[in-house]
Amino acid sequence: ETLRELADSIKEQGIVQPLIVRERNGHLELIAGERRWRAAQLLGLAEVPVIVRQADDRAVLELALIENLQRENLNPIEEAQGYAQLIEQFRLTQEEVAVKVGKSRAVVANALRLLKLAPVIQGYLREGRLSVGHAKVILGLSNDKQQQLAVERILKDGLNVRQTEGLVARWQTRQGRGAAKPGALGRLPADAQVADLEDQLRQRLGTKVQLRYAQGKGALEIAFFSDAELERILQILGVRTD
């Protein structure tokens, strides 16, 4: 919400939530509500509703953080970092943070989990290129490299959250089978990369595909269930049958 939009809202409805101030050296010092104050100035308002609090510097900082967290235009990482700062700086529990910001403990806990993602993935969340729903799904992968591979697929293929859930589930199934040893296939964990290749082949060929790989050797199995389907697959692969 821009300052102009906030000013327009105040013009129509008034300031619904009073500003928080404290007395300091004979004056009133603004603690929370800076954007409302600036919007009121844009409108030329002579008076605004306030609540006077007795607050030391520590309480002022806490209130300012809480005020910032209640903005509507925070990105998911800014929100998570705000919760983390309240927990670390003021030694609050997740439950206490939730009460202070008016959210459920689950919302706070899920937001904090986003900070476990690699910085580059957090960057995608900041930019809006990756949704929180996507992020929650890829947190189920076991390491940063697997998560990064999943993000690359999401961005490349435009996967929605449900499609991402399917992708991650297939990778986890493949990992559980122990299809390949770590370190194979270069820079990415073999289980994730083999599953990724399987998934791409499956989509390209429109049939069940299994890739077995370990230490530079393996086999590729492509399933077909009729002569017509075999013909279709061969055409996709560019194999002539005449």
* Set 1, 23, 29, 34: catalytic member: 34
What's the pLDDT band for 66 if we cut at 50, 70, 90?
A: confident
- Residue scoring higher pLDDT (115 or 199): 115
Domains of the chain (ranges plus CATH)? Answer: 3-114 (3.90.1530.30), 117-237 (1.10.10)
3-state secondary structure the chain: CCHHHHHHHHHHHCCCCCEEEEEECCEEEEEECHHHHHHHHHHCCCCCCEEECCCCHHHHHHHHHHHHHCCCCCCHHHHHHHHHHHHHHHCCCHHHHHHHHCCCHHHHHHHHHHHHCCHHHHHHHHHCCCCHHHHHHHCCCCCHHHHHHHHHHHHHHCCCHHHHHHHHHHHHHHHHHCCCCCCCCCCCCHHHHHHHHHHHHHHHHCCCEEEEEECCEEEEEECCCCHHHHHHHHHHHCCCCC
Per-residue pLDDT tens over the stretch 164-188: 998 888 888 776 655 444 444 333 3
Per the annotation, the verdict on 96 as an active-site residue is: no
Residue 122 pLDDT: 96
Residue 128 pLDDT: 94
